[in-house]
Structure 1
Amino acid sequence: MLTYEKLSRKPGTFRRLTGVSVGVFSEMAGKNGPLWEKRRNNYEKGGRNHALPGVENHLPAMLIYYRCYVTYEFMGFFFDCDETTAMRAVKRIEKMAIRVIRIEKKRGISASDTEYLIPDATEQPVQRPKRKQRKSYSGKKKGHTQKTQYITDPAGRIRAVSRTYPGKTHDFTIYKKQKKRDRFCGVPKKADNGYQGIRKYDKNAEIPYKKPRGGELTAEQKDFNRRLSKKRIRVGNTIREIKIFKIMSDTYRNRRKNHNLRANIIAGMVNMKITERELRKAA
């Protein structure tokens, strides 16, 4: 049976299998520990023991599932239990993790909190739905997808995660729907051409200049686009870190209603990884 004790002896293997370092895992376990004890005291008095004992073994199950996105049958073989037990273990720890690992929720972010914000949306393939297929069909990806918008700060830290939308939904439509909930209007935005029209809502937003039909961009406009692109690299790097977890990049096989919960948990883990890197550099 695979256990945290065995995995933690090989930090490199631990990182490759779970997507996080032993240090980040320890922080996650510390945050989930009190919730686990509370649950055990309230619901498990006199009951049978879990096949995966303790939060320190539930968390690796969730992380390996997110990182590798294998079937629950494979997970059961990995952890020496049946697939139903593996599925329940993942769902059990997800309900706790979303409370303590997700990104910090603020009523709003002002210009004093961050210099600017960078929105970007990413698509993920999904299995062809039985109904309303046109709604999820993405002409850009030539297939059925779902879309999530992430907003990061200049350090790449995720400040907001949108709901999960069908792949046909335009990036700017997602931004408009999320704008009222996220309340970031006072902070400058660095957007791409998928956000044409953003200045009607945020006057201090910046988007690249588009090449006019039959014309050319000026040297100043090209320079502006290059500088904007360099600043937007941060959100691209963050989305790449999100997609290290294959549950966010491979064809999504689970119920769509659970996708946003997992996107928020993974966003919180990515922020923890960024904080760990910053502390390592400062040391």
Structure 2
Amino acid sequence: MLICDRFRRILFVSKMYEGHTHDFTIFKEIFAGFDFSLFRVHVDSGFYGLEQYVNPHFIFKPIKASKTKPLTSQQRQINTLLASGRVRVEHAIAKIKAFFSLRIENRLKDKRKLDDAMAICAGLANFKTKLAIA
């Protein structure tokens, strides 16, 4: 799980999880009890049910379509606007993955070292972002 600001600076990187752990499960584990009322939270469609944890006025998530109820053109436009904001997070992830150590198959026996490598790569990505902004 990664949290970044609107300038693509990485503010938080969670530890690595083995297997297929859903982002929302990680969110609940890490941020249970955290007060998000002062923040705007932009998430993807996998975070349905987040209203129980965050003030609903500050959640920005896309509208899901169903088989029986397709999205209207207005809902598609809203989703496009939300995606244009969330793409910054995807760009921050891409900056982290630009480092070769995270692109190769990892064979570390001690998975804590992978967490350290991720944190170092996030710091380097922030440093590169700071140089680009200045």
**Which 10-residue stretch deviates more, 155-164 or 183-192?**
183-192
Q: 1:184 Cα shift?
A: 6.2
Query: Residue 251 of structure 1 aligns to a residue in which SS?
Result: coil
Of the three residues 94, 111, 131, the one matched with 1:240 is: 94
Equivalent residue runs for 1:54-203 within 5 Å: 149-180=1-32, 183=34, 185=36, 186-202=38-54, 203=56
Give SS of 2:121's match.
helix
The answer to whether the 8 A contact 2:102-2:118 is kept is yes
TM-score w.r.t. the length of structure 2 is 0.89
Corresponding letter in the other structure for 1:195:
F
Percent identical residues: 30
- Give unpaired runs (5+ residues) of structure 2: none
C-alpha deviation, 1:170, in angstroms: 0.7
| Alpha-carbon distance between aligned partners in 2 of 1:248 and 1:180, rounded to the nearest angstrom | 29
Which of 77, 86, 111 matches 1:256? 111
The amino acid that maps onto 1:171 is: D
Residue 70 of structure 2: which of 211, 216, 222 is its match? Answer: 216
Runs of 4+ in 1 over 6 A off after TM superposition: none
- CA distance in 1 between partners of 2:94 and 2:19 (Å): 19
Structure index of larger Rg? 1
| C-alpha distance in 2 between matches for 1:206 and 1:167 | 28
Matched to 1:242, the amino acid is I
RMSD between aligned residues: 1.6
Alignment of 1:231 with 2:85, yes or no, is: yes
Q: Calculate the TM-score normalised by the size of structure 1.
A: 0.44
How many residues align? The count is 130
Aligned match of 1:272:
127
Residue identity opposite 1:151 in structure 2: I
Point out where structure 1 has 5 or more consecutive residues left out of the alignment: 1-148
